[in-house]
């Protein structure tokens, strides 16, 4: 029993019934395999779903890396390319995403289902950030740079959320959202907007603290 076969059958069940099977036992029985064979590959239906989301990201990354212009792209262009390709692929899975993708409302419970996807995405994003730092596209802010992939993942989830609630023709509003928000994200990590903000905050709060310490002493 191939894991992909299990995934295909599981998707089929969810799409047709609108919900996961009642139990692994019932699902396996329907496939004519033993429960043990299912658990050889996945610990639960949640784990199986987690691998679907991960695969969606992994397939997208493989596909875009094969593009002939990929090498010449800036980090920003690469991230945009990822997004557009992802949502193109996601069209084939839209019903499944709508039914099963962990939405924002239940963000707390979603961490395990999205863990694998997040690791896949973060590895990719970290690579882009390193590249971007090398060619000065991303401002070098030491350890803060390590937090970018996680922030970008949050942005990625917001794009998925936007897409799943988008009702514009051909989901064009999603495209516009990606275009504008990625630009803003890169404006923030490229320019010294953050430095200026910190500087201002330090200036204002520093004085405040000074005063407080003065009166205290």
Partner 1 sequence: MIDEQETIASGKVTRVAALAGAGARVGINYLKHYGRRAVGGSREKTHLHEANARTVYDTFSRLKGGPLKMAQMLSIDKNMLPDAYRAQFAQAQYSAPTLSYPLVVRTFRRDMGKSPTDIFDTFSQSALHGASIGQVHRATIGDHTFAVKVQYPGVADSLSSDLAVVKPVALQMLGLKEKEVEPYFLEVKERLLEETDYTRELETSISLSQKTRGIPGIRFPRYYPEYSSSRVITMDWIDGKPLDRFAQSTARQDQKNAVAQAIWDCYHFQIHCLKQFHADPHPGNFLVTADNDVVVLDFGCTKRIGSAFHRDYFEFLDPEILTDRKRFEAGLRRLGLLTDSDSERHRAIIIENALVGAELLGRPFAAGNFDFGDTDYMASIFALGEAQQRNPDLKEIRSARGSVDAIYLNRAYFGLYSLMGSLRAQITTSRKVS
Residues that bind partner 1 (CB under 8 A): 67-69, 73, 76-77, 80-81, 83-84, 88, 168-170, 172-173, 175-176, 178-184, 187
Q: Would you say 183 or 207 has its CB closer to partner 1?
A: 183
Q: Which of 127, 95, 133 is nearest to 13 (CA)?
A: 95
CB of 212 to partner 1, least distance (A): 34
Closer of 42 and 121 to partner 1 (Cβ):
121
Distance CA 93, CA 14 (A): 12
Nearest-approach distance from CB 186 to partner 1, in angstroms: 10
Angle made by CA atoms 82, 111, 173, in degrees to the nearest 5: 40
Q: Within a 10 A sphere around the Cβ of 156, how many other Cβ atoms?
A: 22
Question: Long-range contacts for 169-173 (Cβ within 8 Å, ≥24 apart)?
Answer: 171/87
CA–CA distance, 21 with 180 (Å, rounded to integer): 40
Q: How far is the CB of 174 from partner 1 (least distance, A)?
A: 9
Output 13 or 78, the one with its CB closest to partner 1: 78
Rounded CA gap, 189 and 43, in Å?
39
Nearer to partner 1, 46 or 127 (CB): 127
Which residue's CB is nearer to partner 1, number 5 or number 183?
183
State how far the alpha carbon of 109 is from the alpha carbons of 46, 106, 114, 150, 205, in Å.
11, 6, 10, 18, 37
Q: Closest approach of Cβ 173 to partner 1, in Å? A: 5
Residue 113 C-beta: closest distance to partner 1, Å: 28
């Amino acid at each position: 029993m191939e894991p992909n076969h299990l995934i295909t059958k599981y998707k089929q069940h969810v799409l047709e019934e609108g919900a996961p099977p009642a139990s692994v036992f019932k699902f396996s029985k329907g496939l004519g395999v033993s429960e043990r064979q299912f658990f050889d590959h996945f610990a639960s239906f949640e784990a199986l779903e987690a691998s679907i989301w991960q695969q969606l990201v992994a397939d997208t990354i493989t596909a875009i890396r094969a593009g002939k212009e990929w090498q010449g792209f800036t980090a920003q262009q690469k991230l945009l390319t990822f997004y557009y390709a992802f949502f193109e692929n996601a069209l084939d899975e839209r019903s499944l995403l709508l039914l099963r993708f962990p939405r924002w409302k239940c963000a707390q419970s979603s961490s395990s289902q999205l863990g694998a996807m997040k690791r896949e995405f973060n590895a990719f994003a970290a690579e882009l950030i390193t590249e971007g730092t090398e060619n000065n596209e991303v401002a070098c802010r030491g350890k803060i740079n390590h937090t970018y992939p996680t922030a970008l993942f949050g942005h990625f989830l917001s794009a998925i959320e936007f897409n799943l609630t988008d009702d514009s023709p051909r989901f064009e509003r999603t495209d516009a959202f990606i275009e504008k928000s990625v630009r803003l994200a890169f404006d923030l990590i490229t320019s010294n907007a953050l430095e200026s903000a910190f500087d201002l905050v330090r200036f204002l709060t520093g004085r405040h603290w000074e005063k407080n310490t003065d009166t205290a002493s």
